[in-house]
Structure 1
């Protein structure tokens, strides 16, 4: 830790966790992309050349005409999991494998790549360093919650990036009442409301004008979308040990989980959100620097973009 002047700045602690074994990798592929088969076969060969066997999930295998294994079996048997695709593929893998708590690495075959940050050209070098223990595992906050229907039924979910409440009809507004630890604090009227994790702060939250949080921070970001009033409609950051309760007063609404699952909210339904007991484990290169990623992906400091 570098000292500045007469003081040493605070640093969020990085995890020192390592994989117990590096023998088997479980793969999922970008969905609806059968053209990814040659790329997968090339990367599979790179893994096997380093002595790491590869398991492919059944759904991904079927997409490219190969044999695979059931997803749950793959998660149980693999030492770590790999998404080959973009950030959406990694998001899906983290959520679906949450109960197994296996570390996940993303190989970027997509576009932006905030989360899936191992490039196709880096795979060989990354594997060599993985086998030497020269990597790190980041523990990223996740959301767990449920929709409680007026009937008493509970529909539970896990989110990695965000939970977004909007109208099911385009151009229709919603009114979302928000409480923290059971105490009402605001009502948001507009196109919607985003509850984001720090990891999700560079997703829809950023587009809606919310702040970027360092991904190892433990906090929620509450960001209104196109608010109809500016008086009380500002982004808010709250610690992750608070619980958040939301209801869409007098309006039909939908809750989108990481943009991949949707739940209907009717009058009388309540959406409960809390920090998950365990975070997502993301494997990164040891030298991975979040601020460099921001500079590259968001063109910070680039006058020609």
Structure 2
């Protein structure tokens, strides 16, 4: 049996009430409804806890902000289940609807794509490996950065197997277009439309003259090798993943899997960007 799986921000005051609204709608429309155990426990909704993977659902509801969307996508582990983001925080890049549209949006979704009321916005992701072993999948970015405060780390970047240069920096970010407005942006990386397919390589606080981001073709493979005695850490979409020593290599390649977001109407990324930064028309 499929239906609606719900992933929620654990610390939003209104998350429990909106989760209950979704549960009621599902009961009234003969749709199964469940939550991962940790989410149900956090919201005191243990009656809706289930150990089924959210990848078994027809749709995943994400209650929270962009961080919750990232967690939901990560939990899908590459499955093509669409995710609908319900915004419970400030203006986000990934969420789609406000809470007052929850029931109407579910009704529209289950009317089917042939209704013309919604479509899928698919986003590229990166498969990340450490020393040849798969370590995770990134929607925003993989970051290799220093372990020790007050010191730079030395990192060799290779593109398609060929050395590009050694960086002395706080770290290197390998980002998708979706991730161009996340950590990469704070490191002065470019803003790239999520409709584009590209791989961004952005240094963090480089202690060298070359401090520019590279915008690469999605077919190009990026490898980052730790070079020197200082340890580094790798994080995938903000989650610590591994500690790296001299000679360890992180490899980032475009994933065959995509993140699939439900959109109603036209998704105007540049208008969200404009609102996020308070830009005016003149």
The alignment's C-alpha RMSD in Å is 2.1
Alignment map for 1:282-293 (pairs within 5 Å) = 282-293=261-272
Q: Does 1:298 align with 2:281?
A: no
What secondary structure, in the 3-state scheme, does the structure 1 residue paired with 2:39 have?
A: helix
For 1:218, which of 197, 201, 207 is the aligned residue? Answer: 197
In structure 2, the partner of 1:75 is 55
**Structure 1 range deviating more: 39-48 or 252-261:** 39-48
Give 1:183 shift.
0.2
Cα distance, 1:52–1:302 mapped onto 2, change above 3 Å: farther
Distance in 2, matches of 1:302 and 1:45, equals 43
What secondary structure, in the 3-state scheme, does the structure 1 residue paired with 2:257 have?
A: coil
**Structure 1 range deviating more: 115-124 or 86-95:** 115-124
Alignment map for 1:85-104 (pairs within 5 Å) = 85-104=64-83
For 2:169, which of 190, 209, 223 is the aligned residue? Answer: 190
Q: Deviations over 1:115-145 (max 9, x none)?
A: 1131112324433433244111011000002
What secondary structure, in the 3-state scheme, does the structure 1 residue paired with 2:158 have?
A: strand
What secondary structure, in the 3-state scheme, does the structure 1 residue paired with 2:62 have?
A: strand
**Structure 1 range deviating more: 25-34 or 169-178:** 25-34
**Contact 1:109 1:119 (8 Å CA) reproduced:** yes
Unaligned runs of 5+ in 2: none
Q: Does 1:257 align with 2:236?
A: yes
Cα distance, 1:201–1:40 mapped onto 2, change above 3 Å: same
**Contact 2:148 2:231 (8 Å CA) reproduced:** no
In structure 2, the partner of 1:112 is 91
What secondary structure, in the 3-state scheme, does the structure 1 residue paired with 2:33 have?
A: strand
Distance in 2, matches of 1:28 and 1:71, equals 13
Give 1:170 shift.
2.3
In structure 2, the partner of 1:158 is 137
**Structure 1 range deviating more: 180-189 or 41-50:** 41-50
Aligned residues: 275
TM-score, normalised via structure 2 length: 0.90
**Contact 2:12 2:88 (8 Å CA) reproduced:** no
**Contact 1:83 1:107 (8 Å CA) reproduced:** yes
Distance in 2, matches of 1:218 and 1:110, equals 28
Give 1:113 shift.
1.4
Give 1:302 shift.
6.9
Distance in 1, matches of 2:108 and 2:280, equals 31
